[in-house]
Amino acid sequence: MKFGVIIFPGSNCDHDAYWTIQHVCRQPVTFLWHESHDLENCDAVIVPGGFAYGDYLRTGAIAKFSPVMESVRKFAAGGGLVLGICNGFQILCEAGLLPGALLRNVGLKYVCKPVQVRVENTDTAFTNICTPGEVLTIPIGHMEGNYFCDPATLNELHRGNRVVFRYSSLDGEITAAANPNGSLDNIAGICNPGSNVVGMMPHPERSAEPELRCTDGVKIFQSMVGALAAR
């Protein structure tokens, strides 16, 4: 199997994701340049966090037009695994691979801290080694993490079991106090109808090694490795 990590102008978590895949999960990985259509025969693509194209206009609004994203759309349509992390989640929404939008945080401040997320859906390639209702501690770092969609879309997400993560307390309660950004229904991550595309605001690559004082995030990548190995 082979992973690809996209590099946009302004990406700053690309090397973190690359490191986690190569040194923690011990899987082949390559960087994918934003101006290239070539996904280099990768089996999974990571759209990393950062500030693609400086977040000009709005987060992800320019990145969605990059040549690599045209290939990512086709890759996803064919069942390829795509994980968007933070800015990557914003890009996937702008590109139409996921519904909704990420708005400015309630309070209009950048938020950077560890948070708890409850795993709502374990029937994805990104959460298959987790247990339903499991609480993971994973850090966030964003200004626009406030997930929003219209009522019809929210109903669709719930009906299709497409809410993958929700902000929660340490004991798994879904409360307003546990919501760091005002996100609708405490949503921290969602998937597409095929469950092969996931976007999440927390950074699992920042919580994948003991040196980071948390290893919960590695479960996301280990799930992907297991899913690819089973194909």
Q: Are 186 and 166 in contact (CB under 8 A)?
A: yes
| Structure token pair of residue 50 | 């950062």
Residue with tokens 């590695």: 218
Q: Which residues are catalytic?
A: 86, 203, 205
Pairing of β 197-200 and β 81-85: parallel
Burial letters 115-130, b for 16+ CB under 10 A, else e: bbbbbbbbebbbbbbb
What values do phi and psi take at 176, rounded to 5?
A: -65, -35
Residue type, 185: D
